[in-house]
């Protein structure tokens, strides 16, 4: 999906040293928690469907996504898992019937 690809490209363009300060700034802003929730959803989507672009291994892309995941959890805490994975769990529970 084009949106996912754009998000991944932007994340890959940000230096590792800038990740935590950027995430802290976003998290502290109004609606920042929702933004990080959305970012986490994109991270999981990217991990679920890794793409291999020209000149880049899927391992390198996964490494970037995992680094962002680590930093998001560091800044926002584990509470994001409930928001991000909860709907997926509930969806699975509905299928079980």
Tell me if the pTM is above 0.85.
no
Over residues 76-95, mean pLDDT = 57
CATH code: domain 2-96 is: 1.25.40.190
Residues, the chain: 97
Could you report the per-residue pLDDT of 36-79, keeping only the tens digit for each? 988 988 998 888 875 555 445 677 888 999 999 999 999 988 76
Comparing 5 with 92, which gets the higher pLDDT? 5
CB 22 within 8 A of CB 11: no
CB neighbour list of residue 26: distance below 8 Å, 6 or more residues apart = 32, 35, 36
Residue owning tokens 């509470």: 79
Q: Indicate the average pLDDT of the chain.
A: 80
């Amino acid at each position: 999906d084009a949106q996912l690809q754009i998000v991944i490209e932007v994340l890959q363009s940000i230096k590792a040293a800038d990740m935590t300060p950027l995430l802290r700034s976003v998290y502290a802003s109004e609606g920042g928690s929702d933004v990080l929730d959305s970012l986490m959803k994109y991270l999981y989507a990217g991990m679920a469907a890794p793409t291999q672009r020209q000149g880049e291994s899927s391992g390198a892309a996964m490494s970037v996504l995992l680094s962002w995941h680590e930093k998001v959890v560091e800044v926002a805490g584990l509470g994001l898992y409930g928001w991000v994975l909860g709907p997926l769990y509930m969806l699975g529970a509905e299928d079980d019937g």
